[in-house]
């Protein structure tokens, strides 16, 4: 088995379930604690959790293992890749397993509304660590300047300018130059990545406006230039914020608890601002069961997924990480306990689901993201290439067969 660590031995008489997961730090610790909780709660099944690196490393290993007929029973993958895996026929349909239809999943976080037409397709993915992009504000700097969280792009420009200070090498705004945040901007500008007729539009003019906003802020010295690629960029952006080199950043819900624990100033989470409207994509990963696994192992994996969707497990995961609770029952329980009154930052991503826009169900979306759009976003901001020309080039490449 591919993996970064050895799995525990399976106790005699139990059905083994190999689980591949991606991420480290606190999130890894919390997941492993929930796996132990499941294993200790019954004597029928035994989940063996094996770390596989970040999302993209884990996906590469999973695709290799599928081709080699050595895939795990259970894994989680980023949402953009689910249509590709479903089309390849490697995912187990889940709806007819006992208890799955009764899961109280928040529709915007489940397959039903994460994708256009997601609810009309066989159920092959259940939500796990789901998120939206949100803004993080240095409350001390905002209070000193008498500013509030920006509500639209004009206020974002103004706040970024007013909180930038060249003398102290501080930028008013920071954001990874990443597809996810660009998709948020495209939606805010009134566009969509895929047009209603199925054409890969990359937002057309809205896509150029979204990229142009980053270029404008970077060129003016109000947004920190891109610090790196993939999750290195996210980590550097977080460190810029914690060190005071960025007064406000856009990042993921996933980092809420980490940033709260390490900030030496009051941390305020806020929704993303509007362009012509408010819009955010959802992000994070979904549980998938591999069709190639033995029937007994697949049934055991589904029992584990039912366990993970029980309110107390959902609550433990979300409150210890910052990810959005994925069931309505968990949210109701947190409300009743007064959790959101005591932790208002946790409510931001949950409330943003009212403006969450679904992804297209496209088998090419992940390839277009990784191979075509992402590198061009970076070059456009770093080299200040013409935004419209960059996206025209990307659209032409997206039409070519892989």
269 & 291 share domain:
no
- Residue that has been written with the tokens 């039903």 in this structure: 112
Q: Which residue has the higher pLDDT, 132 or 26?
A: 132
Is residue 253 domain-resident? Answer: yes
pLDDT at residue 227, as a whole number: 64
The whole-angstrom separation of Cα 45 and Cα 38 is 9
Query: Of 319, 334, 355, which residue constitutes the final position of a domain?
Result: 355
5 is a domain residue: no
- Per-residue pLDDT, averaged over 237-254, amounts to 96
Scan for tokens 């192992």, then name that residue. Answer: 297
Over 70: is that where the pLDDT of 19 sits?
A: yes
* Rounded Cα–Cα distance for residues 169 and 39 (Å): 50
What is the distance between the alpha carbons of residues 165 and 169, in angstroms, rounded to a whole number?
A: 6
* Average pLDDT in the chain: 94
Q: What is the dihedral sign for C-alpha 129, 135, 141, 143?
A: negative
CA 380 to each of CA 145, 180, 211, 350, 398: distance values in angstroms, whole numbers, following the listed order: 32, 16, 8, 32, 17
pLDDT tens, position by position, 275-292? 999 999 999 999 999 999
Same domain, 100 and 185: no
Tell me: do 219 and 261 sit in the same domain: yes
pLDDT computed for residue 229 by the predictor: 61
Same domain as 166, residue 205:
yes
Tell me how far apart the alpha carbons of residues 292 and 73 are, in angstroms, rounded to a whole number: 8
Give the CATH number of the domain where residue 29 resides.
3.40.190.10
Q: Tell me, yes or no, whether 296 lies in a domain.
A: yes
1 lies in a domain?
no
In a domain, 92, yes or no: yes
- Does residue 387 sit in the same domain as residue 309? no
Structurally, the chain folds into a number of domains equal to 2
Higher pLDDT, 185 or 196: 185
The reply to whether 118 and 147 lie within a common domain is no
The edge-to-edge listing of strands for the beta sheet with 248-252 is 248-252, 133-138, 267-270
DSSP character at residue 264: S
7, part of any domain: no
Mean pLDDT of 176-196: 95
Contact 55, 285 (CB under 8 A): yes
**Cα separation of 369 and 56, whole Å?**
12
Both tokens of 52, joined, read 């596989």
Per-residue confidence at 5, pLDDT binned at 50, 70, 90? very low
Domain residue limits at 349: 15-131+282-355
Residue 2 lies in a domain: no
- Same domain? For 140 and 243 the reply is yes
Shared domain for 250 and 374, answered yes or no, is yes
In a domain, 4, yes or no: no
Beta bridge partners of 361: none
* Statement to judge: residues 70 and 104 lie in one domain: yes
% residues pLDDT > 70 (the chain): 97
Close Cβ partners of 338 (under 8 Å, ≥ 6 residues apart): none
**Binning pLDDT at 50, 70 and 90, where does residue 349 land?**
very high
Q: Read off the pLDDT band of 226 (50, 70, 90).
A: confident
Do 275 and 176 share a structural domain?
Answer: yes
* CB proximity list for 46: less than 8 A, separation 6 or greater: 8, 10, 11, 14, 15, 16, 17, 39
- Regarding whether 379 and 253 lie in a shared domain, the answer is yes
Contacts of 303 (CB under 8 A, 6+ apart): 44, 45
The closest alpha carbon to 131, from 321, 360, 312, 305, belongs to: 321
Same domain, 124 and 27: yes
Angle between helices 205-219 and 387-399 (to 10 degrees): 140
C-alpha dihedral sign at 363, 367, 372, 373 = positive
């Amino acid at each position: 088995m591919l993996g970064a660590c050895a799995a525990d031995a399976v106790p005699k008489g139990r059905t083994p379930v190999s689980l591949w997961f991606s991420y480290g730090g606190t999130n890894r610790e919390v997941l492993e604690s929930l796996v132990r909780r499941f294993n200790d709660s019954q004597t029928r099944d035994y989940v063996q959790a094996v770390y596989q690196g970040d999302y993209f490393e884990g996906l590469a290993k999973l695709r290799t293992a599928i081709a080699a007929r050595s895939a795990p029973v259970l894994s989680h993958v980023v949402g953009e890749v689910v249509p590709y895996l479903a089309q390849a026929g490697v995912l187990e349909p889940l709806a007819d397993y006992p208890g799955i239809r009764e899961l109280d999943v928040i529709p915007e976080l489940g397959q039903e509304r994460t994708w256009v037409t997601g609810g009309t397709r066989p159920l092959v993915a259940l939500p796990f660590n789901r998120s939206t992009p949100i803004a993080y504000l240095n409350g001390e700097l905002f209070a000193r300047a008498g500013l509030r969280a920006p509500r639209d792009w004009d206020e974002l420009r103004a706040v970024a300018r007013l909180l930038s200070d060249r003398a102290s090498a501080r930028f008013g705004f920071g954001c990874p130059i990443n597809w996810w945040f660009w998709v948020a901007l495209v939606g805010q500008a009134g566009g969509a990545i895929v047009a209603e007729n199925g054409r890969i539009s990359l937002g057309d003019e809205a896509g150029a406006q979204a990229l142009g906003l980053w270029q404008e802020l970077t060129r003016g010295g109000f947004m920190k230039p891109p610090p790196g690629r993939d999750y290195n960029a996210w980590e550097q952006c977080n460190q810029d914020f914690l060190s005071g080199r960025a007064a406000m950043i856009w990042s993921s819900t996933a980092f809420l608890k980490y940033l709260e624990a390490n900030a030496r100033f009051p941390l305020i989470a806020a929704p993303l601002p509007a362009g012509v409207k408010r819009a955010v994509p959802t992000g994070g990963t979904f549980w998938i069961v591999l069709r190639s696994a033995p029937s007994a192992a697949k049934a055991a994996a589904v029992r584990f997924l039912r366990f993970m969707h029980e309110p107390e497990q959902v609550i433990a995961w979300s409150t210890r990480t910052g990810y959005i609770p994925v069931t309505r029952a968990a949210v109701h329980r947190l409300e009743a306990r007064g959790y959101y009154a005591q932790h208002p930052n946790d409510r931001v991503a949950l409330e943003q689901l009212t403006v969450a826009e679904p992804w297209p169900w496209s088998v090419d979306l992940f390839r277009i993201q990784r191979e075509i759009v992402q590198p061009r976003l970076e070059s456009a901001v770093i080299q200040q290439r013409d935004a419209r020309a960059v996206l025209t080039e990307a659209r032409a490449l997206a039409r070519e067969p892989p």
